[in-house]
Amino acid sequence: MEIITNTYHLQRPPVATPGQFTELDMGCGKGGFTLALAARFPDRLVLGSDVMLGRLSRIEKKAQRQGLGNLTLLRAESLQLVTFQLPVACLDRVHILCPDPWPKKNHVGHRLITTEFLCRLQRVLKPGAIVHLSTDYAPYFSAWLEMFSHFSVFADAPGAIEDVADLKTDFEKMWLAQGLQVQHLVKRYQG
């Protein structure tokens, strides 16, 4: 595990070998999706990031038990991760699944997905990279649609997650069991 939280210099986490597909599960939580992704695609470099060290330690133990040598965990704050901690144009796909919607009006400023974040995210995306978002909170989803409408470098690409459509985060499994809808948004970076 690489701990890069509160690191204000460039510290490169392990990067893919030339030509290796790389994907990031940003805010990986308990790691259900991350572990399943790494197990399904052993030829890919899978990065899982979160700020919660305890969660990452539990994921790391599970990955070791499963023999997942293609998974690298990063303790990092998401905005810093895309702003300067990851190499330029290093990701083929990023999953930001069920981020905290901060639904209260006075908390909206804490949301991860903002126009600032989308500007910074472009730095780490390879041309043609996929951005995969999901949420159960309809107003947050609507806000994403509005934000992306101002970024012509992102095009709709719903079919770009067919290979992982059956993989669910722990939150999504819980919400689906309660009969709640989880919406997914998939965009292709054309930068």
CA distance 16 to 90: 8
Q: Are 95 and 33 in contact (CB under 8 A)?
A: yes
DSSP-assigned beta bridge partners for residue 186: 132
pLDDT of residue 13: 59
Residue 100 known to be catalytic? yes
* Pairwise CA distance, residues 48 & 35, whole Å: 9
Closest among 23, 16, 69 to 48, alpha carbons compared: 23
- Residue 34 phi, psi dihedral angles, 5° rounding: -60, -50
CATH of 21-189 among 3.40.50.150, 3.30.360.10, 3.90.380.10, 3.40.50.20: 3.40.50.150
Kindly give the parts of the chain with pLDDT less than 50.
Answer: 9
Q: Amino acid letter at 28?
A: C
Give pLDDT, residue 6: 61
Residues 100, 156, 163, 170: which is the catalytic one?
Answer: 100
Task: Give the start-to-end residue ranges of the domains of the chain.
Answer: 21-189
